[in-house]
Each structure stands twice: as C-alpha cells, then as structure tokens.
C-alpha cells in the first residue's frame, strides 16, 4: 500500500483519517504522511521516503525511536505476559525511579496525560470541597470536558475555541486566565478565592508553541492559590524528565504533579503524584474514585524504566541541550539571512519557530503568528525531508538520537524554506 492508498483507507475509517486530530495536516497544504517504521531520529513512509523527525510522537521519544534498550525491555516484558490486572514488579520499579527523581511521596499510574490531569482535578475538588478550576489560555491539559476550554495547539490549529459537546455547566466550572500574568491571577483569587479548588498550569507552556514562564508568574502561582486554600496542579506531562531528570524545578511548591510522555518511553502512560496525605484520598484508600483496566501495564512500565535508566546519569540531557542549542543558532541565522519576520524560542530540547518578530508571552501574542507563512514553511521542510508537527503551536522536540549532521541538514532546509515562505503571496491554509 502506498501513502495515498493508506490515507484514502484511513479517511474512510477514521474522522479526518487520523486517530488524534493533531496528526491531521488540515492546517497546512500538505498531505499527512503515513509512517510505517521509525528508528533513531528518522521516520520512514510507505514509499521509502525518509524524514528527520522533530515530532517525536509529540514528546515522549527523548531517546529517539526504537532505542535498543527500550525495545529489549518491551520484548522481554511482552514474553512474560502483556497485562496482568494485578500489581506487578514493573510498577514498583518505575514508581521507585520516579519517586527518587521527583520527591513525590505517592503516585498513581494511568494510561494517558488526560487521565492524569482529570484525576488530579477530581482529587483537588474533593480535598478542598470546592468546584472551580483555573487554567491558562493556550495551555493544554488533555481532552477532559472541564479542561477543554481555550486549550492551545490542537483546538487552536483547527480554529476551535472550545469543543462542542462540553456542557455549559461544566465549562462554567473552569476559569481561564492569561498565561504569564501574575496580576490576573491575584485578581481572580480576590474575587473567587473561596470557590476555587485548584490552578492547573504547564510550567513551560508547550501547546501554544514554547512559551516560558516569567519569574513573577512562577512566584504568584506558588503563593496566591495557597493563600486562598486552593491547590496548585503542576502539569509536567511535556516537561517532566524532558527538561532534566525529574521535574522541571520551576514549581517546587505544587501540591499535585501530572506526568506522562517521557516516563512511558513511547508507550501509553500518565501518572499523578503528590503528598501522601493528599494521594491517600484516592480509592481504595479514600473516597475519590479512579481506575484503569490497563493502568501500570507491564510493557509500559518496562519501556518507562528502560528509558529512565538511560536518562538517569544526565548525559542525554547534556547532549540534547547541545543539539538543540545548535539548532536554535542555525535557525536564528536562517531567519536573519532570509529577513523573515520570525523568532526562535527554546527551553532545553523544546523549541518553537514563531512567525512573529518577538517571542510571545501568552496565547494572545502566540495566536497572532502568521499561519499562512507557517503553512508554506511546513511544506518546504517536508519536501526537504524534515518532519515538523503540522501546527505552529506544537513544539519541535530534539532527541538524543539526532546528530549534528541532522541539525545541519535541518538548518539548510529551514534557510531555503524560510526564503521561499516569507515574504510571499498568501497561500491558502487549507484549514478550517
């Protein structure tokens, strides 16, 4: 089956031809590329096409695709049974590694980031006896009803402000504030402090492109909710074990932490953790119900533990930092030479190229980026064998499997694609 036939069959089977909307290329004029195989920093399509990958499955693959240690661990685990529906040593092993690295007193494994944030919110509501949750415009915390309000990359790229099918009564339980605005947070709590159960935040926003937090914002996040008896939920689903081994360190005062992506080594995972007294409110110890047929699955636990084993000496972080810095410099030069109205923002191995002249501080600024130019740029990169997510609001993920030669090729491709893409006639985005 070639790429076109795979796309056609998928289109008939699945809405948008995909199993997750962010994989659709509706916002760029390209056809989505079905991938049949991946290794290291390379994706391979059904027709022998090869791409340097910066999607990295949207974040988990910090070691690259099919890392030998991960493949071996998953194979061995599968041979011993793919699911037990019972406690298994793999959970204890991965849990111990995460606990040691993060200091979280107790944890629960779930199957996705969405489940982790959803459960953290239920726990926060139960612990405080309050209903309202505050999130920030452009932050994404998964697709549970109450969190699908002003939720960044996927919804934003498809031109949806919120999702249909979310009852107004549920959306009304979510307050939305601008990211990086400590005054807005204080004002919210002056008015709604008594009703607010929790604030949930990405410590470095990764779903409106990479938007780092300011110091005053981080301080307010840790002080203001606490003063009003509300909890702080730190969503480290992208940043955990990606910026460094353990948590980002940006929100040490958080009450609950959500993890996912890297801790599952590319298999479906999520986790939440926090103080023992809070976590013990989860069933069966406490009254907050949460469950999962495949939670703590032995294959996932093995992939996660193998990944953390490779990461724990810190060397892959030094390597990805070096590579990402090299990429940032090269893209910066390309932007200057092409005189493009664009800028690069990077935190560790997370990077964004925004089509605006200065780094955005919040979603209002990020959403003003030029999406037509991005669409042309994306096409230019794809035809040169570089796979970027089909949205300006998704981060580029550098992995330890990239090489300097990959970065050189990427930078050359970007220099050409930037010249072609901007300035130029406005192309149809193919979106909406």
Q: List residues binding ligand PLP (CB under 6 A).
A: 58, 112-114, 117, 140-142, 202, 206-207, 235, 237-238, 260, 270
Residue 372 or 394 having the CB closest to ligand PLP: 394
Closest by Cα among 389, 391, 385, 393 to 410 = 385
Residue 111 or 373 having the CB closest to ligand PLP: 111
Residue 178 or 203 having the CB closest to ligand PLP: 203
**Catalytic entry in 53, 181, 235, 362:** 235
- DSSP letter, residue 358: S
Is residue 21 classed as helix, strand or coil in its secondary structure?
helix
85 Rama class: left (phi>0) / alpha (psi -120 to 50) / beta: left
Residue whose CB is nearest to ligand PLP in the complex, by number: 113
Residue 140 or 317 having the CB closest to ligand PLP: 140
Rounded to the nearest whole angstrom, what is the least distance from the CB of residue 13 to ligand PLP in the complex? 21
**Catalytic entry in 51, 54, 58, 140:** 140
To the nearest 10 degrees (0 to 180), the angle between helices 298-311 and 68-79 is 150
* Stated length of the chain: 432
CA distance 359 to 366: 8
The answer to whether 162 is a known catalytic residue is: no
Partnered with residue 288 across adjacent β-strands are: 282
Rounded to the nearest whole angstrom, what is the least distance from the CB of residue 151 to ligand PLP in the complex? 10
Rounded to the nearest whole angstrom, what is the least distance from the CB of residue 39 to ligand PLP in the complex? 23
Kindly give the pairing relationship between strand 343-347 and strand 50-53: unpaired
Residue 265 or 380 having the CB closest to ligand PLP: 265
Sign of the alpha-carbon torsion through 90, 93, 97, 98: positive
Secondary structure of 325-341 in the HEC alphabet?
HHHHHHHHHHHHHHCCC
276: its two tokens: 């023992």
Rounded to the nearest whole angstrom, what is the least distance from the CB of residue 416 to ligand PLP in the complex? 30
Please state the φ and ψ torsions of residue 403, each to the nearest 5 degrees: -125, 170
- DSSP letter, residue 355: S
Residues 6+ apart with CB under 8 A from 52: 41, 42, 385, 386, 387, 402, 406, 409, 410
Rounded to the nearest whole angstrom, what is the least distance from the CB of residue 19 to ligand PLP in the complex? 11
Query: In whole angstroms, how far apart are CA 5 and each of 15, 50, 51, 85, 345?
Result: 16, 18, 20, 38, 38
Rounded to the nearest whole angstrom, what is the least distance from the CB of residue 92 to ligand PLP in the complex? 23
The answer to whether 226 is a known catalytic residue is: no
Rounded to the nearest whole angstrom, what is the least distance from the CB of residue 4 to ligand PLP in the complex? 28
Partnered with residue 133 across adjacent β-strands are: 174, 198
Kindly give the pairing relationship between strand 350-354 and strand 386-387: unpaired
Helix (H) or strand (E) holding 98: helix 89-102
**Catalytic entry in 51, 179, 255, 261:** 261
Whether 326 and 406 have beta carbons less than 8 Å apart is answered as no
187: its two tokens: 């004002």
Residue 395 or 414 having the CB closest to ligand PLP: 395
Residue 235 or 362 having the CB closest to ligand PLP: 235
Rounded to the nearest whole angstrom, what is the least distance from the CB of residue 200 to ligand PLP in the complex? 9
Closest by Cα among 29, 7, 5 to 18 = 7
The answer to whether 235 is a known catalytic residue is: yes
Rounded to the nearest whole angstrom, what is the least distance from the CB of residue 354 to ligand PLP in the complex? 18
241 Rama class: left (phi>0) / alpha (psi -120 to 50) / beta: left
Residue 299 or 407 having the CB closest to ligand PLP: 299
Residue 108 or 141 having the CB closest to ligand PLP: 141
Catalytic residues: 140, 235, 261
């Amino acid at each position: 089956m070639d790429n076109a036939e795979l796309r056609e069959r998928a289109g008939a089977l699945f809405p948008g031809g995909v199993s997750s909307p962010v994989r659709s290329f509706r916002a760029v004029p390209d056809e989505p590329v079905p991938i049949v195989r991946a290794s290291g920093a390379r994706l391979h399509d059904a027709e022998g096409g090869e791409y340097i990958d910066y999607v990295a499955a949207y974040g988990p693959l910090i070691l690259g695709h099919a890392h030998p240690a991960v493949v071996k661990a998953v194979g061995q685990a599968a041979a011993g049974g793919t699911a037990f529906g019972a406690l298994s040593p793999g959970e204890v092993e991965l849990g111990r590694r995460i606990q040691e690295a993060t200091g979280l007193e107790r944890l629960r494994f779930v199957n996705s980031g969405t489940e982790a944030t959803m459960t953290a919110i239920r726990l926060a509501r139960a612990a405080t006896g309050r209903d309202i949750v505050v999130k920030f415009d452009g932050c994404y915390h998964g697709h549970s009803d109450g969190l699908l309000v002003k939720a960044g990359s996927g919804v934003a790229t498809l031109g949806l402000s919120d999702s249909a099918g979310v009852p107004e009564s549920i959306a009304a339980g979510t307050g939305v504030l601008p990211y990086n605005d400590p005054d807005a947070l204080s004002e919210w709590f002056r008015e709604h402090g008594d009703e607010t159960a929790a604030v949930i935040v990405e410590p470095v926003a990764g779903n409106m492109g990479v938007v780092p937090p300011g110091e005053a914002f981080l301080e307010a996040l840790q002080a203001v909710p606490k003063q009003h008896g509300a909890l702080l939920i730190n969503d480290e689903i992208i940043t955990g074990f990606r910026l460094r081994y353990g948590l980002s360190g940006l929100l040490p005062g958080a009450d609950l932490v959500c993890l996912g992506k890297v801790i599952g080594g590319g298999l479906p995972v999520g986790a939440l953790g926090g103080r023992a007294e809070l976590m013990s409110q989860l069933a069966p110890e406490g009254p907050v119900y949460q469950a999962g047929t495949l939670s703590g699955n032995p294959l996932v636990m093995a992939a996660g533990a193998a990944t953390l084993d490779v990461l724990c000496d810190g060397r892959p972080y030094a390597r990805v930092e070096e590579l990402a810095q090299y990429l940032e410099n090269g893209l910066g030069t390309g932007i200057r030479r092409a005189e493009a109205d664009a800028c690069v923002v990077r935190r560790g191995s997370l990077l964004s190229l925004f089509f605006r002249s200065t780094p955005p501080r919040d979603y209002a600024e990020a959403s003003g980026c030029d999406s037509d130019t991005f669409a042309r740029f994306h096409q230019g990169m794809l035809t040169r064998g570089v796979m970027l997510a089909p949205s300006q609001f998704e981060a580029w993920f550098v992995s330890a499997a990239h090489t300097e030669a990959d970065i050189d090729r990427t930078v050359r491709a970007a220099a050409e694609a930037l010249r072609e893409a901007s300035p130029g006639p406005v192309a149809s985005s193919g979106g909406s």
